[in-house]
Amino acid sequence: MLQLSVPIPNIEGKQEIEIDMTVNGKKQKMHFIVEVFPWEACVTQTDNRVDCIRELVHDYGSEWTIYNIGIPTDNYVPLTFVKTEDWVRQRQALLSAVTG
């Protein structure tokens, strides 16, 4: 799937983003959350950062899907979530365009 990059400042906390877009004349809305998680928020101290990310996001539930893991630093990791229903709609649109 093609991606369009929009710069969002790396600040701690949660940023809710709603994008209205028109692609080939079809309007759609996408909902994102960008959240910067400090590594120190991991309750279980581990050298495996993947395990830490799993721990950090386990409460997001099924309404949100991880869309992107940003470039981590020594202090934090930025994560972008997309609303699951928006992501499913995007995938369906892609499949219908490919299969005609």
Residue 2 pLDDT level (bands cut at 50, 70, 90): low
Instruction: Provide mean pLDDT across the span 66-71.
Output: 91
Residue 32 pLDDT level (bands cut at 50, 70, 90): very high
Instruction: Provide mean pLDDT across the span 24-46.
Output: 86
Tell me the pTM. 0.79
Determine the Cα–Cα distance for residues 49 and 42; give it in Å rounded to an integer: 9
Among candidate residues 31, 24, 29, 49, the one with its CA nearest the CA of residue 39: 49
